[in-house]
């Protein structure tokens, strides 16, 4: 039997899975990300051997942090300093002899949720709230790309926020009042001095208010049918957190219809599932 391989190459862990032609996961492997490009590539290739289990590999897809050149598959993930201008597509196609597609992790997660989320949406926005924050937007099943292929950075929109410790609101990008600085795992740690799972109900309310302001902006600009939210912070906050943010969004939306907003249904596999979708034949995002 032929298999299709998906890779989720993250800053802390790398997951690899082999799937059948319908995208059902057959075997999977994971390891911690190292600080060396050479070691990461060796680990990736040995996990591919393991999950492929001697079956023919017909295609591969991969999710990795930006920035990257998605057409040529040249990657420089910001949080993996040893990976700079790596021609990943060319390297993998030469080694494995099959098509290889790579995209920014938040785009790939959006594809995973779109493909396997159990809904249809002509305009679909996916948001990841984890260490950082990002998103991917699909219109009629295709990833929206900006100027020259630029990835829109929804986490770096400026919002009108509420914060009990406003001097600690500092985005890693250097711009003021970024949404990511208020609702991401790193932002929460800087503002509240603890991880998201340790937040009090009042602090969660503040984070939900700020996320709601971001949702309001995104709903106003994109007018999407559905917004799904995943990543560790969103999954940790759960339905209450998402519900509170949604209420703030709805309160502020006057001119466009409110999108359906819900937690991701794919847990921590969203990007891995999207990478598998990209590996399948006849799927073009």
Identify which of residues 55 and 172 has a Cβ nearer to Zn ion in the complex. Answer: 172
Q: Shortest approach of Zn ion to residue 181 CB, angstroms?
A: 6
Phi, psi of 94 (to 5 degrees): -70, -40
Task: In whole angstroms, give the CA distance from residue 199 to residue 204.
Answer: 6
Judged by CB under 5 A, the stretch of 15-23, 32-40, 177-185, 186-194 that binds Zn ion is: 177-185
CB neighbourhood size of 211 (10 A): 28
Whether the Cβ atoms of residue 242 and residue 230 lie closer than 8 Å to each other: no
Judged by CB under 5 A, the stretch of 10-18, 73-81, 178-186, 221-229 that binds Zn ion is: 178-186
- Site track for Zn ion across 210-229, x = CB under 5 A: --------------------
Among 3, 51, 171, 249, which residue sits at the site for Zn ion (rule: CB under 5 A)?
A: 171
Helices vs. strands in the chain: H and E counts, helices first: 8, 13
Q: What DSSP letter does each residue of 16-65 carry, written as one string? A: EEEE-TT--EEEEEEEE--S-HHHHHHHHHHHHHHHHTTPPEEEEEEEE-
Answer yes or no whether residue 173 interacts with Zn ion by CB under 5 A.
Answer: yes
Among 178, 244, 248, 278, which residue sits at the site for Zn ion (rule: CB under 5 A)?
A: 178
Answer yes or no whether residue 109 interacts with Zn ion by CB under 5 A.
Answer: no
Looking at residues 128 to 157 of the shown chain, list those that interact with Zn ion (rule: CB under 5 A).
Answer: 156
Identify which of residues 75 and 171 has a Cβ nearer to Zn ion in the complex. Answer: 171
Answer yes or no whether residue 26 interacts with Zn ion by CB under 5 A.
Answer: no
Residue 93 buriedness (CB in 10 A; 0-12 / 13-18 / 19+): middle
| Tokens at 108, concatenated | 């790939």
Q: Shortest approach of Zn ion to residue 71 CB, angstroms?
A: 26
Site residues (vs Zn ion, CB under 5 A): 156, 171, 173, 175, 178
């Amino acid at each position: 039997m032929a298999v299709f391989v998906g890779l989720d190459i993250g800053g802390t862990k790398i997951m690899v899975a082999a799937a059948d032609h319908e995208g059902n996961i057959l075997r999977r492997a994971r390891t911690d990300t190292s600080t060396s490009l050479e070691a990461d590539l060796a680990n990736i290739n040995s996990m591919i051997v393991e999950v492929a289990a001697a079956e023919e590999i017909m295609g591969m897809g991969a999710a990795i942090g930006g920035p990257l050149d998605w057409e040529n598959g040249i990657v420089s993930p910001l949080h993996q300093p040893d990976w700079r201008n790596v021609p990943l597509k060319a390297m993998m196609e030469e080694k494995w002899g099959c098509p290889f597609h790579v995209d920014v992790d938040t785009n790939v997660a959006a594809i995973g949720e779109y493909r396997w989320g159990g809904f249809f949406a002509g305009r679909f926005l996916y948001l990841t709230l984890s260490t950082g924050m990002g998103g991917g937007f699909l219109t009629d099943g295709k990833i929206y790309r900006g100027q020259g292929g630029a990835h829109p950075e929804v986490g770096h929109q400026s919002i009108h926020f509420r914060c009990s410790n406003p001097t600690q609101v500092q985005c890693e990008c250097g711009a003021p009042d970024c949404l990511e600085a208020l609702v991401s795992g790193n932002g929460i740690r800087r503002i509240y001095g603890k991880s998201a799972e340790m937040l009090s109900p009042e602090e969660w309310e503040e984070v939900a208010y700020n996320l709601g302001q971001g949702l309001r902006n995104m709903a106003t600009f994109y007018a999407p049918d559905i917004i799904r939210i995943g990543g560790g912070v969103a999954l940790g906050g759960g339905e209450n957190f998402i519900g509170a943010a949604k209420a703030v969004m709805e309160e502020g939306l006057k001119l466009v219809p409110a999108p359906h907003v819900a937690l991701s249904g794919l847990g921590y596999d969203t990007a891995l599932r999207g990478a598998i979708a990209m590996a399948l034949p006849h799927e073009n995002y």
